[in-house]
Every structure is written in C-alpha cells, then in structure tokens.
Amino acid sequence: MKIAVIGTGYVGLVSGTCFAAWGNEVVCVDKNTQKINALELGVVPIYEPGLDELVERNVAAGRLSFTCNLANAVKGAAVVFIAVGTPPRAGHGDADLSFVYMAARELAPLIDDNAVVVVKSTVPVGTGDVVEKIIGSVRKAGTFSVASNPEFLREGVAIRDFMEPDRVVIGVEDEHARKVVTELYNAPLEVQMTPIVVTQRRTSELIKYAANAFLATKITFINELADLCEQVESNVSELALGMGLDKRIGTSFLNAGPGYGGSCFPKDTMALLRTAQDYGVAVRIVQETVTANEARKRRMALKVMDALGGEVDGLTIAVLGLTFKPDTDDMRDAPSVPLIETLQRFGARIRAYDPVGIENAQQILSDVELIEDPYECARGADAVVVITEWGDIRSLDLSRLKTIVRQPVLVDLRNAYEPGAAEKAGFRVSAIGRSTSA
Ligand code: NAD
C-alpha cells in the first residue's frame, strides 16, 4: 500500500519508517527543509534508539523516501497520515490545532479519490469532524474518508512500541476507512494477536487523552505517596512493588520522581481539562493531578536547597540528566528546566550534563554550563542532582564522583542508586520517598 505521512517528527518519522518496514511504500513529508535535507543524506534528525538503522534499511530497499513536496507525497497514496505537532496554545492550555488544519487544507485538493486521511496527531474530540469539513469544502463527499488513529509510542522505545503495541485504536465513520486502516495494521500484527479496537472517530480521539491522563494520575499518586514515605520512614520503591504486583494495579508508572514532564502528559492533561470545561463536565481527578504535578516540579528545587542547608546562593550545582526521560533528546516540558531556573533565581550556578540532550537544552536554558562528561560536570560542585536516570548516570562510579565534588551532597530525584550505595561512597543523600541522610 502507498502511504504518505505528513510531519516527520518523533511520531511521523517512527510511524512512517515502521510502516515501510512492514512492506508498504512510504513517503514522509515535512515543511522543515533542514529535516528533509538531513534525512535525504541519511541523517536522522532526532535521537531514537534503532531508528537510524531502520531508516537506512528501508531507504535502501526503496520503500521509504522523504520530500517537502506534498503533491508528490500524496499522489497515489491510499492512506495519508497527519502526524504534525499539536502543542499547547500559549496562555490557554488547549491544543493548538493550526498545524493539523493547515495540513488538511493543503492536502485536500491533492489527494487521490478514495484516499483515507488518518489523524495520528493527538487531537481533541471533534477534530476529525473539522478535518472532514475542511477537506469536504473542496472535494465531493464520499470521495474521501477521515479516520482517527492515535499513537501510543513512547520516545526511547518508540520502534518496539510501534511494532509490538499493546493495542491499536482506530476511529472510523465509514466502512471503506475501517477496511483500509484495519488492514494496514492487521496484516503485520495478526501473528502477535494485537487487539485492534475499532470505534467511532470521536471515541478514538478521546481514548488517547484518557490514557495519558490516567498514566499522569498514576505517576502523581505514587509521587504523593513518596512524600508520605519520607515523613513516616518508609520506602516508596518497595511500597510501589508491593502495590504494583497486584495485577489490577500493575507495576509500571509507579516510579516516584520529580513530577511528570515531556511533550505529551503536561499538554494532554491540560487539553483534556479544556475539553471538559468546554462541555461543562468536572474531571476533578485530572485537575488535581495537573495542580499537584506543577507544585511538585517547583518543590524539587526546595528539596535541593534543603539538602544544602537551605541556601544555594553562590553555590555550584551539578545537574546530571536534562531530557524529560532517558533515551530521548526531547527537552519539551522537561522537569529539569523549572528546577534549574528556580535554583538560578536563588543564586545557584548550574553546570549540567546529558548524554544526548545538550543541543536541545542549549536552546532552552540560559547561563548553564553544559558539559559533555558527568565527572567533569560534578568537579568542584556543592551538590550533584540526578534529574534523568540515563544508564550511564546510573552506572557512575560513586566513589570516584565523591573525590571530585566540593561537598558530598547527592540529591537523587530518580532513585537512580540503590539505597545505601551513595552513602557508602561517602555522600549525604536526599532521595525520593525514603528517609534522607542529607
Ligand atoms: P514534532 O514536533 O516532533 O513533529 C511535528 C512535525 O510536523 C515537525 O517536523 C513539523 O515541521 C511538521 N509539520 C508541521 N506542520 C506541517 C505541515 N503542514 N506539513 C508538513 N509538515 C508539518 O511532533 P511529535 O512529537 O512527532 O508529535 C506529533 C503528534 O503526535 C502530536 O500531536 C503529539 O501529541 C502526538 N504524540 C507524540 C508522541 C511523542 O512521544 N512525541 C507520542 C504519541 C503521540
């Protein structure tokens, strides 16, 4: 099947490449000429483990190509995915749909008859109806379909998530779209017996927000329990295990930390609140989740200050890990940013290390010395703060680290080290959800 994918970001590029790996002919299109030029030269513009090789293999096989020319991309395509960004609208909190609507307007006169336009971007309920109207303003009804197929991949493990999903959700309003989009997934996923949930377009749109809001709530729940553990001398990791082994609960998303961030949870929870507000429905648990998470992110700076006796003015703090989670270069809404900015306001000097996020961090952070080696970053620091639990940060030689720092203070916001390990190396430790030695 020929497929066009509009938007070559974390979702569009991974989806397009995986569809090609499943044997389809895929053209990925983007307005960003830099991205397309890089891809044409074989350079993948994002960090996603395994993606370089998969792109290279599928380009070499002649199944995957890149272009800025939308007309060429959609010509002959049976399915056209819209995978453009839906960032939060500045000052409003709802999703900015201008990129989705722009893509719909641009593709409307160019698609073949009977093409199925599939919105893969995360969009509020009812967006598919608007996309249908936009396309319907230049094409006869019945000559095209609009479907919803939200994406659930996680950055860092995106290829596996796409190729071996827990489920696929497809929202359709007509039989042709149901047949075409179901077949696209069913053929490669049948052997894995992946459930395919086919539903109405509006339900499909809402499933994505419901899933993300639920996961954000789960994280916030364990974070609050972590605070309680700190007060009552309990250990949140063991608490999470004891809870999570109950199959009704599950162990994933029970890692206490500095608050959720990233390009999806903050914006999607806010957008769901907006939708609920618009329809006069109270979604109080999600509201509380958003409020608690924002407060938590700010409180993490106080935790660092507490570990240093209440003052950071003039002190040097080494931050290890900047991206919102390991194995991605994505800095969007990373908890490291408010933490660093708050510490800076209190007079701290910040040095920071990240294995792949430095380039993106440079565009967001100011007055931060970005260093490409974790030990060099920690040299002479008054405190080391772990914000992202990259593998190389987890496996640091803590005894060596201790000989480099000025003050042996470790604030481990990800519980990256076993209880006692950093203490044994001579650090005073403040971790999450367990009693502190700092
Ligand atoms: P992104 O910002 O990385 O990429 C979006 C791309 O779309 C950019 O390269 C941009 O240049 C391009 N674009 C915008 N308008 C265009 C147009 N009219 N024509 C061609 N290209 C255009 O975004 P992303 O992280 O891939 O997210 C895309 C969507 O998927 C969002 O709705 C997001 O919420 C959702 N999503 C993201 C993730 C994730 O982990 N990143 C996971 C699931 C769902």
Percent of the chain past pLDDT 70, that is, above it, reads: 100
Give the right CATH number for 238-431 from 3.30.230.70, 2.60.40.1180, 3.40.50.720, 3.30.930.10: 3.40.50.720
Residues with Cβ < 8 Å from 405, sequence gap 6 or more?
Answer: 318, 378, 379, 380, 381, 382, 383, 384
C-alpha–C-alpha distance, residues 153 and 149, integer Å = 12
Coil, strand or helix at 146:
strand
Q: Is 400 annotated to bind ligand?
A: no
Would you say the CB of residue 186 lies under 6 angstroms from ligand 1?
no
Would you say the CB of residue 430 lies under 6 angstroms from ligand 1?
no
Would you say the CB of residue 169 lies under 6 angstroms from ligand 1?
no
> 393 CA distance to ligand 1 centroid (A)?
29
Query: Residue ranges of the alpha helices (H) in 61-147?
Result: 70-74, 98-107, 127-136
- The residue type found at 274 is R
Question: Which residue has the least CA distance to atom 34 on ligand 1?
Answer: 122
Strand partners, 168: 196
264 catalytic per annotation: yes
Would you say the CB of residue 8 lies under 6 angstroms from ligand 1?
yes
Of the listed ranges 87-91, 248-252, 397-401, the one predicted with least confidence = 87-91
> 99 CA distance to ligand 1 centroid (A)?
9
Two tokens, residue 275:
């939708």
Which residue carries 């069913």 as its tokens?
186
**Each residue's pLDDT tens digit, 223-253:** 999 999 999 999 999 999 999 999 999 999 9
- Helices 201-232 + 127-136 axis angle, to 10: 150
Question: Which residue has the least CA distance to atom 3 on ligand 1?
Answer: 9
Find the mean pLDDT for residues 304-323.
97
C-alpha–C-alpha distance, residues 368 and 341, integer Å = 10
CATH 1.10.8.10 assigned to domain 2-197? The reply is no
Which residue carries 């959720």 as its tokens?
260
Question: Which residue has the least CA distance to atom 15 on ligand 1?
Answer: 99
Would you say the CB of residue 264 lies under 6 angstroms from ligand 1?
yes
The yes-or-no verdict on residue 93 having pLDDT over 90 is: no
Confidence of residue 91 (pLDDT cuts 50, 70, 90): confident
> 289 CA distance to ligand 1 centroid (A)?
25
Would you say the CB of residue 35 lies under 6 angstroms from ligand 1?
yes
The yes-or-no verdict on residue 61 having pLDDT over 90 is: yes
Question: Which residue has the least CA distance to atom 17 on ligand 1?
Answer: 103
Name the residue among 331, 317, 319, 326 with its Cα closest to residue 387: 319
Q: Which atom of ligand 1 is nearest to the CA of 13?
A: 26
Confidence of residue 140 (pLDDT cuts 50, 70, 90): very high
> 409 CA distance to ligand 1 centroid (A)?
40
ipTM: 0.99
Model pLDDT, residue 242: 98
- Among residues 18, 28, 229, 264, the one annotated as catalytic is 264
Confidence of residue 326 (pLDDT cuts 50, 70, 90): very high
Q: Which atom of ligand 1 is nearest to the CA of 121?
A: 32
The yes-or-no verdict on residue 174 having pLDDT over 80 is: yes
Residues with Cβ < 8 Å from 269, sequence gap 6 or more?
Answer: 212, 213, 216, 286, 289, 290
- Distinct helix (H) and strand (E) counts, the chain: 18, 14
Are 319 and 336 within 8 A, CB to CB? yes
C-alpha–C-alpha distance, residues 291 and 354, integer Å = 28
C-alpha–C-alpha distance, residues 427 and 399, integer Å = 9
> 8 CA distance to ligand 1 centroid (A)?
7
C-alpha–C-alpha distance, residues 204 and 129, integer Å = 12
Q: List the end-to-end C-alpha distance of the chain, in Å, as a whole number.
A: 60
Would you say the CB of residue 271 lies under 6 angstroms from ligand 1?
no
Mean pLDDT of the chain, nearest integer: 97
Strand partners, 241: none
Percent of the chain past pLDDT 90, that is, above it, reads: 97
Model pLDDT, residue 438: 65
Question: Which residue has the least CA distance to atom 6 on ligand 1?
Answer: 7
> 11 CA distance to ligand 1 centroid (A)?
6
Would you say the CB of residue 80 lies under 6 angstroms from ligand 1?
no
Which residue carries 């020929």 as its tokens?
2
Q: Is 218 annotated to bind ligand?
A: no
Q: What's 67's DSSP letter? A: E
Q: What is the domain partition of the chain in residue ranges?
A: 2-197, 238-431
The yes-or-no verdict on residue 437 having pLDDT over 90 is: no
Q: Look at 175 and 91; give whichever has higher pLDDT.
A: 175
Sheet holding 115-119, edge to edge: 64-67, 25-29, 2-6, 79-82, 115-119, 144-148, 168-171, 196-199
Confidence of residue 103 (pLDDT cuts 50, 70, 90): very high
Fold equal for 2-197 and 238-431: yes
**Each residue's pLDDT tens digit, 409-425:** 999 999 999 999 999 99
- The residue type found at 435 is S
Would you say the CB of residue 6 lies under 6 angstroms from ligand 1?
yes
Query: Residue ranges of the alpha helices (H) in 308-357?
Result: 336-345
Are 416 and 409 within 8 A, CB to CB? no
Question: Which residue has the least CA distance to atom 18 on ligand 1?
Answer: 103
The yes-or-no verdict on residue 99 having pLDDT over 70 is: yes
Find the mean pLDDT for residues 21-50.
97
Q: Between the CA of residue 31 and those of 3, 22, 65, 217, 286, what are the distances in Å? A: 18, 25, 15, 35, 35
* CA-angle at 21, arms to 18 and 25, nearest 5°: 95
